[in-house]
Structure 1
Amino acid sequence: MSPSCSPVTVRSATRRPARRAVACAGVLLASVTTLVSLGALHAPPAAAATDTPAAAEAHTPEAASPAAPGAQPHSGAARVTAAVLDLDGTDPEPVVRGDDTPYDTASIVKLDILAALLLQAQDAGRHLTAQERALAAPMIQHSDNAAANTLWREIGLAPGLEAANKRLGLTATKGGPGGKWGLTRTTASDQIRLLRAVFDDGLTPQSGTAALTEASRGYIRTLMSRVAADQSWGVSAASGSGAALKNGWLQRNTTDLWDVNSVGRITAGGHRYLVAVLSDGSATMGQGVSLVEKTAKAAVASAAARA
């Protein structure tokens, strides 16, 4: 429905037309912004850590549109699940804290999109094109939504993602509908499987998936190790040194609550860990970030105690 402009009360009648025109223009601009939100870039999450709603990743119409009429904020507590795998330990299975049930991915799916793109390029016997690299880098390092929109379409949407995931060893990840890549659903354990496909040098065709070539794995690791400063939160809070990560955040219009996720490889106490922390139901972005970081620290400490 086209937006309508209601009269604007002003003190001077001679200035009324100008002020009303500005108001109408503002409403129209807001409407256009919503319609093109799939390709828009939004404020980075550094601001989100201070509970700034504008920092939401409106990477789907679901995230960008107003709450549905009659929708009520969810009153339940936020939930969180963490999975940690010690790459230098003896246990081949991750330690999971919380219920290992599906969550919205938000932007952590961008890592999966890049892995799928690289697999498809490998199958075609080629390297990524200059244009693909120009999209992949900001997608991972700056969480660029417009780049993700383009590459999501290029890999073939959800079917392309799921075909790649089957080869990467994922078993519980379902691609989002249509262009809504941020509504892909995944589990913490599945995110560890994806991280292993990138970071676990001990994988073989017999012990796990080795679908990505060393060059492809190195490319992903490099991008994840060089995320922008405003993206350096999440599982990196549990790291004693350099981390490689991808974060995601999304405010759901049906509840006004936040999905906040973080996945990556960290180093702590001389061990390398793969860490995935997924959460939803936080009242603010900042609360979600705090929950993810607190959980990451506790999960890594627990895994270290088992070593």
Structure 2
Amino acid sequence: MPHRPSPLSHPQSAARRRPHGGRAAVCAGVLVATLATLLSAGTLHPAAAATASARPDAAPAATALAQRDAGTARFLALVKPQRKARVTAAVLDLDGTDRKPTVYGDDTPYDTASIVKVNILAAALLQAQDAGRGLTKQERSHAEAMIERSDNAAANALWRRIGLASGLDAANRRLGLTSTKGGPGAKWGLTRTTASDQIRLLRTVFPTDPASPAGSTALNETSRTCIRTLMTRIVGEQAWGVSAASGSGWALKNGWLQRSSTGLWDINSVGQVTVSGHHYLVAVLSDGNTSMKDGVSLVERAARAAVSMATAH
């Protein structure tokens, strides 16, 4: 019987090798959608629908909702999740004017698996900054092993050092994450997060606007450089995921976890990719995959689709 890894482990040999408005606006949006449905069913006169949609606060909400739903439908048609698998992708063009990512799929929480290791390192660096120091030699060694090789023993050590979930959550409040909750006890791999929150984390690491002051993130430049550098040194057998969407460069961290209760896989990938001179932050979260291979393929299709759709705008 094949060994089934615990929530904190992942067989590296299994990885596929690859080269390196407010309440009123919301309510109004729902009203417009309802009215449109009634009209299409022939139960509402066009004049009544026109009167309702003429409200200035209703039209933008309805348009945004329609655009989001259309984008998600196109994304899922391109990605084609199989069986019980679900997937969400978020992408942000760092060289564009938008400050919020575009999200494809439901922006609901997923288990992080090993992508949380970037978050653990960010918390450790933030605590070191507070103490007026850099990482110790041992902490640096743990950080390198944890990010470059996804070493779980190193992650365990730094997870304890930052104070487990409470330490992670405290750091995340300062880093601007709003939908991430540290895993119970020693189970850092069961931290819950959303794709949009992973983009928030990546924005604290990768420069988003040359005109922004250096103090726009809680992490100083030395800390940000440390994380960025390690994310470009991922070992070859783990260099899959968002890198599939890259044209000329990438920095990433992946996570993979087989659930003992179902045998299904959580497969995630986050990072920065460069395509045609543009730098994109990308987060792809998935679960319910029948195998690690299927999950990696799904995540890579999702990364390519999300970035392709972003470049088309």
Short-chain TM bin: 0.7 to 0.9
Partner residue, 1:49? 16
Q: After superposition, where does 1:293-304 map in structure 2 within 5 Å? A: 293-304=300-311
Quote the residue 2:269 is aligned against.
262
Q: Pick from 177, 182, 187 the counterpart of residue 189 of structure 2.
A: 182
Q: Where do residues 172-251 of structure 1 align in structure 2 (5 Å cutoff)?
A: 172-202=179-209, 209-251=216-258
Q: Deviations over 1:72-105 (max 9, x none)?
A: xxx9520000000000011111010000000000
User: Which consecutive unaligned segments of at least 5 residues does structure 2 have?
Assistant: 18-81
How far residue 38 of structure 1 moved from its aligned partner, in angstroms, is 8.6
* Aligned 8 A contact 1:203 1:210 in 2: no
Question: CA, structure 1 residues 206+134, in 2 after alignment: closer, same or farther (shift >3 Å)?
Answer: closer
Which residue of the partner structure matches residue 158 of structure 2? 151
Shift of 1:263: 0.1
User: Aligned runs of 1:53-202 on 2, under 5 Å?
Assistant: 77-202=84-209
Task: Provide the secondary structure at the position in 2 that maps to 1:243.
Answer: strand
Contact 1:38 1:149 in 2 (8 A): no
SS of the counterpart of 1:226?
A: coil
Are the equivalent residues in 2 in contact too, given 1:168–1:209 (CA < 8 A)? no
Number of aligned residue pairs: 247
Shift of 1:42: 5.4
CA contact (8 A) 2:7 2:190 kept: no
| RMSD (CA atoms) | 2.3
Task: Note if contact 2:214-2:221 (Cα within 8 Å) is conserved in structure 1.
Answer: no
8 Å CA contact 2:84–2:289 kept in 1: the answer is yes
Q: Which amino acid aligns with 2:15?
A: A
Deviation for aligned residue 1:208 = 9.2
TM-score, with normalisation over the residues of structure 1? 0.76
How far did 1:203 drift? Answer: 8.2
Aligned residue number for residue 56 of structure 2: none
Return the alpha-carbon distance in structure 2 between the equivalents of residues 180 and 131 of structure 1: 22
Q: Is the 8 A contact 1:167 1:209 kept in 2?
A: no
Percent sequence identity over aligned pairs: 68
- Maintained 8 Å contact 2:7/2:189: no
Secondary structure of the corresponding residue to residue 152 of structure 1: helix
